[in-house]
Structure 1
Amino acid sequence: MINSGYGNYGGNSVKKSVIGWTHGGGSHREDIEDNIDPLRQRSRDLYYGGSNIATGAVKRLRTNTVGTGLHLKSTVNEETLGITADEARKLEETIEREFAHWANSTNCDLERLDNFYQLQQLALLNALLSGDSFALMKTTKRTGSIYDLRVELIEADRVSTPDGETINPLFCEGVEKNKAGEVVAYHISKFHPLSFADRNPREWVRVEAYGQKTGRKNILHIMNRERIGQVRGVPFLSPVIETIKQLGRYTEAEVVAAVVSGLITVFIEKESASDDSAFGEVVPEEMQVDAEDENSIELAPGAVIDLGEGEKANMTTPGRPNSNFDPFVMAVIKQIGAALEIPYEILIMAFTNNYSASRAAILEFFKVIKMYREWFIADFCQPIYEEWLCEAVAKGRVQAPGFFNDPIIKDAYCSAEWNGPSAGQLDPVKEVQAAELRVQGGYSTREKEATELTGTDFYKNVKQRKREEELLKEVTGSAKKGFNAGDTGDKESDTDPDKEADRQDREEETEE
């Protein structure tokens, strides 16, 4: 048989370049879900301090995707609802005002610790570290709270398969499917699988994915899928866990070597065995960091070691700091950034290239941010907002005729945008000029440009500007009026005969 196509290259099994390539693969269950536990724990270990690069990568993505929070901008569909533009704008302002009351308060959190925007940060951070995170939408009455909707975040580890269903093919890591492949329920443990102190019974609660009567979501699953059929997410750092760990080990070894070379530069070589005390004992005990370990050799800055008879001192040149350290680390970081879709300038927060290169890195990174933001909005922000709006309409706080009667009408009321941190500007003048040209040419709108340039709302900006201009006109008008009045008084004093005579008399008295 003669190889053809991929058989000559990536699919070849006899070439020396690939004959030693051990490979294997399976379905999403074997390749992903069966490896979830070590991936989660290793990702968290890297984030908690195992690697500065890992911590920075996760935080960079979290901060740029959510930042201080994705804020609601209601965009009701006035054509579908059959209302005027002014009526739509008033309705949008009412919705935004009511939602802000709920979102800005910790009452939106079942634990009563975070407001809605802080919950966004926590949910996204856990989804990046663990592969996915979950949120339950519960109702609880509280004194002083208009709305009863509460968000309860669930850590990924707690969604797991019950003991009696481990071999059931319809269960996968706590996610239950029906025979058609539809996700129908999630199983949440009352205990934390990784906790040694958790005394809760080893029981699970089955939460149906959708309400049987309303069809609304009972639980939110924040996850970004990679494989068809996949039901659990992969931690963000998974593709580079090994590379980051090895880089961390190398960095730690270089740092230790540099510290040791700074502590002592003389090593004692003995020609024969000796019962003399170890040279580490010359360091005073109060300065030793590991005095209890007899096998430890203590080093200290500027330590002078006396040489005994028959001993020689060999001077060493450890070559630390290593001049090749930075180029090698930067080369590895570039590969890590490529795998995580984070330009290395942003990954290490060092913009040392020219304007065009730095601007290109920022624009490329914000393509990734937009993707993650849209994913997070669809999985978390929008479903919670729609659930809140249902309560607001049911309680009469928001007037929305036909909301519960027609799904199309409901979608028109629920239409919204979520604005987050902007990309920022390296050269604000050029960015603003480009925005003005896009608006003039009809390629964009002032509303969109305000959102992308500064992350603000155009309509609110215009209203604030109107108030400022009116106030400024009032203040400058009063000042100008007072100034003119003062000028008139001075002129009158110059032309008044009596005042002029008095002035001359004072001048004559002064001269005398």
Structure 2
Amino acid sequence: MQYRIRAGRQTVTVDETLLDRAVRYVDPVRARARMAARLQLAAAGGYTGAARSSRRLGAWKPGGGSADADLLPDLAALRERSRDLVRNAPLASGAINTVATNVVGTGLMPKAQPRRAILGWTEERAAAWKRTVEQEFAAWAECTACDATRTQSFYGLQDLAFRSALENGDCFALTPMIERPGVRYATAVQLIEGDRCSNLDGKSDTPRLAGGVALDEHGAPVAYHFRREHPGELRLTTRTWDVVPAFGAESGRRNVLHLYGKRRIGQTRGAPYLAPVIEAFKNLDRYTEAEIFAAVANAMFAIKVKTPEKTGLSPLESAVTGQTPGSTATDARESNWDGTLTAGLVVDLGQDEEVDSFTPGRPNAQFDPFVMAVLMQMGAALELPVEVLTKRFQSSYSAARGALLEAWKFYRNRRAWLAEAFCQPVWETWLAEAVARGAVDAPGFFADPLLRYAYSYATWHGDGPGSIDPAKEATAVEKRLQIHLSTLDQEIAEYSGGDAESTLEQAGREKAMREKHGLESPAPTAAGQGARPAGDDADKADDGEEDAAPPRGYGLTLNLDNRMGGKSTRKVDFIEDADGHIVGARETVTHVVSEVTELEGAP
């Protein structure tokens, strides 16, 4: 039984429960008062989005579980479907590749930044210590000995760990000490897929154990349960687990790094990056496959033959059997044409037969607009503009730049997360061993946590975003440096992932080499030369810009092509002001000129 009440424009409906029925059977008066109270409570809500009586929303009853209750039961299916899309769906694979390429690229490089104020160091001492530490770390990170499997460098491990976290929702990294002959450091990194982390012996989740992660009373991980083999392994496996403490009992050393994006309070495991769009990607992949099949099927129909009733072979039967009209005795016909197509064909048709052209309906003209509209919504969920998701830049310079800037907000966020969750902990773990072995001098490193922080602090930089208009962006960098909005070190790190010290050292060496060989250094551009409009005017100029003007201030005469036995010539004279700056150009086109291409006014 249902009870209804009208509250303004809203009709509130309350269903009678089993308890309500029991109360009504025993005491109808109390049951009536009970239902009135329930109706008043239901009508008190002010959000139409929560209306339970709405015809459009009444059937929408999402669960209200905790972060783990909503995720963990579905995590295995989400992982498997995400991997399948990455393997077989081009757009899904492209999304993962695009994010990994821009976030990790060739690898995030550390820049040691010892806190001089805490350590009481001079700038020179800090710079010398920084060089020593970075050289020692490079010797470890660029060698495959840093990988427990000895197959990748630390920068390859970054890419693999990040991709695994995107595809599977999370990734684990162990930091075992593996002594090997000829290897300077024992610290190694061992990556583990999320499938292997599960409750010991398949136990059910509890408030202290969820998804293979054991928690303390504060919700902090204290241990991880890992199966010794992958549950999907083809070889014969044993159901055995290893319980790995999250931190060393006495040293506090990190034993396990858990890479996952935490989106809800109390979330123990991570969801795949593609989770919100798995269904959309799969349906779009099916739709694309169906359109391709339809286009192929349409391409197979060249013509159609009209025959008397029940005397021809249907197109579907031809497609299934591989036969053409006249290829079997039962399909014999009066004409001399067997249904095949050849060049210069003359067809002698039988009585009451005629050949008609076939008008294909594929490719579907609405396919591209529809797919792009769907991808715009999917890109919003993935934080990738549709231009970046599809690698399709067909609009203006301003639109392309806006799309890339929006994408790079996401890339920088994910890069900072990777540095915090993986790179920096590995750096600190390695540095502790380097100090313990005496390779790096760091007094008080193990005695004082503040000093340890001061020694361990580092920043991580990766590949730059590249340039759409290098000249304009270089001008912007110059202006930022002039008004002290940035530093040369920051600009170099953003552009190429390098640092000012090594860049200037290399520039000094190159300058000395040029002087040694009698070569002049590149002259700086004169102030005001090649000035461009600023702001929106610059964007408009770039939107309509085809080719940049030649940088030299003299006329050019170019032979372009043959026309009626002569040559077409275009002459461009550049106009200079009193200071020698190019302020305009004049073009002259002639069609009969000398056979010799001239370069007038060249220095």
TM-score under structure 2 length normalisation: 0.72
Change (3 A) 1:431 1:167: closer
Identify the residue that residue 259 of structure 1 maps to in structure 2. Answer: 296
Give structure 2 stretches of 5+ with no counterpart. 11-42, 325-338, 521-603
Instruction: Name which of 208, 214, 228 aligns with 2:265.
Output: 228
Matched, 1:472 2:514: yes
Kindly report which structure 2 residues correspond to 1:174-253, keeping only aligned pairs within 5 A, or say none: 174-195=212-233, 197-253=234-290
Change (3 A) 1:252 1:445: same
The CA distance in 2 between the partners of 1:20 and 1:152, in whole Å, is 47
Kindly report which structure 2 residues correspond to 1:350-499, keeping only aligned pairs within 5 A, or say none: 350-476=392-518
Instruction: Name which of 56, 59, 75 aligns with 2:94.
Output: 56
Deviation track 1:163-193 (CA, whole Å, cap 9, x = no partner) reads 2522544221111113442211110001211
The CA distance in 2 between the partners of 1:319 and 1:301, in whole Å, is 22
Instruction: Name which of 345, 360, 372 aligns with 1:330.
Output: 372
Deviation track 1:454-484 (CA, whole Å, cap 9, x = no partner) reads 2221111000011111221222189xxxxxx
Where 1:24 maps in the other structure, the secondary structure is coil
Kept in 2, the 8 Å contact 1:192–1:198? The answer is no
Work out the percentage of aligned pairs sharing the same amino acid: 41
Range with greater deviation from structure 2 (163-172 or 431-440): 163-172
Deviation track 1:195-219 (CA, whole Å, cap 9, x = no partner) reads 2x23232100001111110122110
CA drift at 1:302? 5.3
The CA distance in 1 between the partners of 2:205 and 2:429, in whole Å, is 35
CA drift at 1:312? 9.2
Kindly report which structure 2 residues correspond to 1:56-75, keeping only aligned pairs within 5 A, or say none: 56-75=94-113
Identify the residue that residue 148 of structure 2 maps to in structure 1. Answer: 110
Kept in 2, the 8 Å contact 1:271–1:311? The answer is no
Kept in 2, the 8 Å contact 1:351–1:358? The answer is yes
The CA distance in 2 between the partners of 1:425 and 1:274, in whole Å, is 63
Deviation track 1:357-385 (CA, whole Å, cap 9, x = no partner) reads 11111111111111111111111100001
TM-score under structure 1 length normalisation: 0.84
Instruction: Give, as a single letter, the amino acid of the residue that structure 1 aligns with 2:92.
Output: A
Instruction: Name which of 119, 130, 135 aligns with 1:97.
Output: 135
Q: Higher relative CO (CA 8 A, sep ≥ 6), structure 1 or 2?
A: 1
Identify the residue that residue 289 of structure 1 maps to in structure 2. Answer: none
Range with greater deviation from structure 2 (332-341 or 315-324): 315-324
Where 2:459 maps in the other structure, the secondary structure is strand
The CA distance in 2 between the partners of 1:395 and 1:167, in whole Å, is 42
CA drift at 1:317? 3.5
Where 1:206 maps in the other structure, the secondary structure is strand
Instruction: Name which of 133, 137, 156 aligns with 2:171.
Output: 133
Kept in 2, the 8 Å contact 1:33–1:232? The answer is yes
Kept in 1, the 8 Å contact 2:165–2:272? The answer is yes
CA drift at 1:318? 4.1
Identify the residue that residue 29 of structure 1 maps to in structure 2. Answer: 68
Deviation track 1:472-497 (CA, whole Å, cap 9, x = no partner) reads 1222189xxxxxxxxxxxxxxxxxxx
Change (3 A) 1:164 1:153: closer
Instruction: Name which of 169, 177, 200 aligns with 1:162.
Output: 200
Where 1:69 maps in the other structure, the secondary structure is coil
Instruction: Give, as a single letter, the amino acid of the residue that structure 1 aligns with 2:477.
Output: A
Where 1:250 maps in the other structure, the secondary structure is helix
Deviation track 1:228-263 (CA, whole Å, cap 9, x = no partner) reads 111100000000011111111111000011111112
Identify the residue that residue 10 of structure 1 maps to in structure 2. Answer: 49
Where 1:476 maps in the other structure, the secondary structure is coil
Kept in 1, the 8 Å contact 2:109–2:497? The answer is no
Instruction: Give, as a single letter, the amino acid of the residue that structure 2 aligns with 1:363.
Output: L
CA drift at 1:448? 0.5
The CA distance in 2 between the partners of 1:218 and 1:310, in whole Å, is 85
Kept in 1, the 8 Å contact 2:205–2:211? The answer is no
The CA distance in 2 between the partners of 1:453 and 1:182, in whole Å, is 38
Kept in 1, the 8 Å contact 2:215–2:222? The answer is yes
Identify the residue that residue 149 of structure 1 maps to in structure 2. Answer: 187
Kept in 1, the 8 Å contact 2:180–2:186? The answer is yes
The CA distance in 2 between the partners of 1:193 and 1:175, in whole Å, is 17
Q: CA RMSD in A?
A: 2.8
Give structure 1 stretches of 5+ with no counterpart. 285-299, 479-512
How many residues align? The count is: 461
CA drift at 1:142? 1.7
Where 2:171 maps in the other structure, the secondary structure is strand
Kept in 2, the 8 Å contact 1:270–1:312? The answer is no
The CA distance in 2 between the partners of 1:123 and 1:309, in whole Å, is 72
Kept in 2, the 8 Å contact 1:106–1:114? The answer is yes
The CA distance in 1 between the partners of 2:351 and 2:203, in whole Å, is 74
Kept in 2, the 8 Å contact 1:73–1:96? The answer is yes
Kept in 2, the 8 Å contact 1:191–1:199? The answer is no
Instruction: Give, as a single letter, the amino acid of the residue that structure 2 aligns with 1:11.
Output: A
Instruction: Give, as a single letter, the amino acid of the residue that structure 2 aligns with 1:335.
Output: Q
Change (3 A) 1:273 1:9: farther
Instruction: Give, as a single letter, the amino acid of the residue that structure 2 aligns with 1:399.
Output: D
Identify the residue that residue 503 of structure 1 maps to in structure 2. Answer: none
Identify the residue that residue 83 of structure 2 maps to in structure 1. Answer: 44
Instruction: Give, as a single letter, the amino acid of the residue that structure 2 aligns with 1:225.
Output: K
Kept in 2, the 8 Å contact 1:129–1:236? The answer is yes
CA drift at 1:10? 1.2
CA drift at 1:428? 0.9
Kept in 2, the 8 Å contact 1:262–1:301? The answer is no
Where 1:351 maps in the other structure, the secondary structure is coil
Kept in 2, the 8 Å contact 1:263–1:302? The answer is no
The CA distance in 2 between the partners of 1:105 and 1:137, in whole Å, is 16
Kept in 2, the 8 Å contact 1:258–1:320? The answer is yes
Where 1:205 maps in the other structure, the secondary structure is strand
Kept in 1, the 8 Å contact 2:215–2:221? The answer is yes
Kept in 1, the 8 Å contact 2:379–2:385? The answer is yes
Deviation track 1:48-95 (CA, whole Å, cap 9, x = no partner) reads 01x211011111111100001001111111111111101101111111
CA drift at 1:273? 10
Kept in 1, the 8 Å contact 2:301–2:358? The answer is no
Kept in 2, the 8 Å contact 1:161–1:174? The answer is yes
